[in-house]
Amino acid sequence: DIGRRRAVEVAVRELARTPAVACAPRLRARLGQAIETCGQTPFALDSGAGHDAVMFDGLTDVAMLFVRCGDRGISHSPRETVTAADADLAARVLLATILRLAAEG
């Protein structure tokens, strides 16, 4: 539809297919606890951000902490923004998670 509207020819060819990588329940739980510790409500979502985790599949557990984008969630774009407050919150959540994991051994 976009190609037709813009009067350009579109050709699609699959270059790669990678399976989904599940985030580790233990790491997700620790991130959720840290988010609560920082006064926020955890929000879980399914993500297509496999390129960020697939390289670690089979090597170690993974989990993701997404930081709110300031421009309606636009990501991987020059228009992507984040506020200092959201960056600070993410850093505090990450630190709390790391410290708890370190304490658990």
Give, for all 105 residues of the chain, the pLDDT tens digit: 999 999 999 999 999 887 888 899 999 999 999 999 999 999 988 877 777 788 888 899 999 998 988 777 777 788 889 999 999 999 999 999 999 999 998
User: Alpha-carbon torsion 61, 67, 68, 72, what sign?
Assistant: negative
Cα first-last separation, the chain = 53
pTM for this one? 0.78
Query: What local confidence, expressed as pLDDT, does residue 26 receive?
Result: 96
Q: 56 exposed, middle or buried (CB, 10 Å; 0-12, 13-18, 19+)? A: exposed
